[in-house]
Structure 1
């Protein structure tokens, strides 16, 4: 019996190590850009994300504020990732782009491919499929990174786009970039 348990543990350890090697890294921006300060009245940098913005609460997006947007900015894009996923490394929760340039992205962005309240901004396919999907880690505390990109154009992407598609479309068009990391302890 002990040999069987040992064999199962060994197989699980190999699978776990394989998955850790295949993990997705966090976003790395390699082009030159002007830093963008991103903040939220809901939580500060590296502070706890309130439950209402999680899958355990109302599951609504938090308000995001940007300071000193460059006059060349034509649109904004947001990517929100769990950066502590135990198997994937980074797990995408939300994608939205073609937000008009503005100092504040309001909280509680409605579900759906097109967001009429944001001049037709588009939500792609992340964890929440065309919507914000807040933190809800299966166990332990996870960090969540809200990446904000200020772009020199609107993006011609279908709502079926995923994170890799959005990153590729933004390449060469990032004027400013900033992020806000929050932590959610889970239940």
Structure 2
């Protein structure tokens, strides 16, 4: 499996996510850039989650059928991509909003050898199940957030 690099111009790996991209700000998704995507990739999928949530891993965003040549701009969904259901039961980005303490947020990118015909009620767990056997590259960016 090839290693994909995920970066953002607004925070560094392991660094703090700016409040503008959280429930304390505009709640917009941060811009994300990808490099090292395998040439054989037909699509990308992104799952953003918080493993530090009190009730278990909380999913903030689920997106698939992202163009392998693309990136994700601030407050946008790439053309042709589909958003799935997050833990708030919404089909959109929901920014960090920890009830207490500092939480880690993982932006996990998967390079896939296929394009999926999945509906908008698809959850991260369901996406992970159908991706099994189709992941040819992977990368992640972790940022932290603590409410003031």
Q: Same fold per TM (> 0.5)?
A: yes
1:119 paired to 2:59: no
Whose RCO is larger (CA < 8 A, sep 6+)? Answer: 2
Q: State the number of aligned residues.
A: 147
Determine which of 55, 74, 81 is the counterpart of 1:87: 55
Q: For the residues of structure 1 that align with 2:71 and 2:79, how far apart are their CA atoms? A: 14
Aligned partner of 2:24 in structure 1 is: 56
Return the match for 1:158 from 107, 114, 119.
Answer: 119
Which of structure 1's runs of 4+ aligned residues deviate more than 4 A? none
Superposed, which structure 2 residues align to 1:34-183 within 5 Å?
A: 34-88=2-56, 90-109=57-76, 118-128=78-88, 129-183=90-144
What's the TM-score, normalizing by structure 1?
0.75
Equivalent residue of 1:146, what SS? strand
Distance 2:87 2:55 in 1: 15
Consecutive unaligned residues in structure 2, runs of 5 or more: none
Runs of 5+ unmatched residues, structure 1: 1-32, 110-114
Distance of 1:40 and 1:108 partners within structure 2: 13
* Higher helix proportion (structure 1 or 2): 1
* Aligned residues: CA RMSD: 1.2
**SS of the counterpart of 1:47?**
coil
Counterpart secondary structure, 2:52: strand
Deviation at 1:93, TM superposition (A): 1.0
CA distance in 1, matches of 2:95, 2:69: 23
